[in-house]
Amino acid sequence: MSVSSNVRSSQTARPTSPHTPQQTSSRSTNTSFASTTSAGSSFRNEDDAIIIEIGARWLRAGFEGSGTPTCTVTFGPEESRRVGDYRGWISGGTGNGLSQQPVDPEDWVRDYEIWRPDVREMDLGLLEDKIERLFRETFNKYLLTDAGSSRLVLTLPSLMPHPLLSSLLSTLFSRWRFPNITLLPSAAMSATAAGLRSALVIDLGWAETTVTGLYEYREVTSKRSTRAMKSLQQEMGRCLDRLASGDELVASPEGHISVGFAYCEEILARIVWCRPHAGGHEDPPTATQKVSIPSPVNPGEEFIDVPFSRFADPVDTVLLASGTADGDLDDEEKPIPLLVYHTLLALPPDARGICMSRIVFVGGGSRIPGLRKRVLEELSLLIKQYGWSPVRGKALERQRQRLESMRISSRPPTQAQAQAPPARQNEGSAPDPPKVHSSEEEPEMDFVEQKLRRQNKESYVPIHGVVREVESLGAWAGASLVTSLKLRGMVEIEREKFLQHGLAGASRESEPVVPDRRSGLRAGDRSSWTLAGWA
């Protein structure tokens, strides 16, 4: 009995023997591991909002809190093909090299655009299909999350037409179950990504260039011009056509383009540059060198040598309007420096001094080497020449010269001039001009300002009244930063209210917005919604 009992006890209590864990313990362990690492595949919180920035040719998407977007999805003929569409393999296509026959410039770029500001000839149904395809590819291929289960934040330009905005929101609300959508303005988000509250945002976009003056995150004024990357791409295509023909003076009939769009875009992104203002007619030494590029006729086998200065001509012609008189320019086709100057001129003086010292360049055109420096140089010359007076004309110049001569003649003589002997008339050389003492040119400082400066010696004095550029991470990074702060936006559109009334349900609220720390920019429950800057 004792031996058998000892054997049983030794068999039941054998800690060193190998054994399989019990079924219940293994399940509990796996369950706890799954619960703690269920989000391990995406490495993010399931409550994170999805930030999407939509441009005329691309879509950027990612999750809040990130510094860069997860993906950038572009649109073109390859993305719009259906089953049985073999245009990508047909010889003589418009992808690379020379197309089969000249194409109208507008038709040449239409297949690569998602939307355009001119909605008069746009098929809104086709636009909704493009948006749906882009969003499905973004969620299923890059974000790897269920569309409609997360909060959606859209970063859009405030000058977006209402038919485009209505088609975009209708597609998202009707084909996915987003509970609400928040809209954020692109210009304000670009300033936020630069760490600024007030700025002058210059967006060198695809269809148009917009210059927006921001003061304390509010858009004060905005102006736009059709001189943008689309016109630059078309002008570059014409230049490559002339290079392909071998005769610089011969162009395609009626301005048509024969070069492939992808080939022209590659040349534009890699080689195009901008001349400095000081050398408007004198190119730098590197401009005299020649660059070997693939031949527009046969880019896969042949190369041609082109002077490097030729790749700066389209920028001068399109974006800067070199050689074009101001009287020949329409209000919607102002060159970029003049457009920036007019935007600053429309701002109040206090906001103007802040914004001109915080100029932010965004958009695809801002990556052209030398363009930002050229714009700032010409802006400084315009300010020095005209000041901040909107009045122009020859009569004003004559009056200004008359007043200047009267001011110089009425200036009292200095002590050195009074003691100097009169000049003899028989001397052939003219007397030296009078020298003005430096103390007469220095403006007198107000005693109140002196007292304030003595009291606030250690206070921060912001930069004011000088032309200066500030770098920005872009509108998407600014929207990601703002969304991660968990603040409610000014424009939050709910699904049920939009499907019931559309954009017509937006109200123009006249009462001031009451700030609240818990709910963000608006206190209480919203019974109505507004379009704010998009109204």
Domain ranges of the chain: 50-75+112-194+474-534
Report pLDDT for 519: 41
Report pLDDT for 87: 65
Map residue 284 onto helix, strand or coil: coil
Residue range 299-305: mean pLDDT, rounded: 85
Q: Return d(Cα 203, Cα 201) in angstroms, integer.
A: 6
Q: Helix 124-137 crosses helix 162-175 at what angle (to 10 degrees)?
A: 50
pLDDT of residue 173 exceeding 70? yes
Cβ–Cβ under 8 Å, residues 210 and 223: yes
pLDDT of residue 182 exceeding 50? yes
Q: Residue 55 carries which DSSP code? A: -
Cβ–Cβ under 8 Å, residues 310 and 239: yes
The alpha carbon dihedral of 7, 11, 16, 17 has a sign of positive
User: Residue 383 to residues 218, 286, 395: CA-CA distances in angstroms?
Assistant: 25, 31, 19
Q: Return d(Cα 318, Cα 231) in angstroms, integer.
A: 7
Report pLDDT for 3: 44
Q: Alpha helices of 86-228 — where are they, by DSSP H?
A: 105-110, 124-137, 162-175, 186-193
- Per-residue pLDDT tens digits for 417-432: 555 555 444 444 444 4
Q: Which fold has domain 50-75+112-194+474-534?
A: Nucleotidyltransferase; domain 5 (3.30.420)
Instruction: Pick the more confident residue, 506 or 95.
Output: 506
Q: How confident is the model at residue 54 (pLDDT cuts 50, 70, 90)?
A: very high
Average pLDDT, the chain: 79
| pTM of structure | 0.78
pLDDT of residue 434 exceeding 50? no
Q: Alpha helices of 156-245 — where are they, by DSSP H?
A: 162-175, 186-193, 229-245
Query: Could you please report the per-residue DSSP string of 9-54?
Result: HHHH--TTS--PPPHHHHHHHHHHHHHHSTTTTTTS-TTPPEEEEE
User: Residue 415 to residues 257, 409, 436: CA-CA distances in angstroms?
Assistant: 72, 16, 10
- Per-residue pLDDT tens digits for 324-373: 887 788 889 999 999 999 999 999 999 999 999 999 999 999 999 999 99
Residue range 32-58: mean pLDDT, rounded: 65
Residue burial 325-358, b: 16+ Cβ < 10 Å; e: rest: eeeeeeeeebbbbbbbbbbbbbbeeebbbbbbbb
Q: Return d(Cα 378, Cα 278) in angstroms, integer.
A: 10
pLDDT of residue 184 exceeding 50? yes
Report pLDDT for 314: 94
- Per-residue pLDDT tens digits for 212-242: 999 999 999 999 999 999 999 999 999 998 8
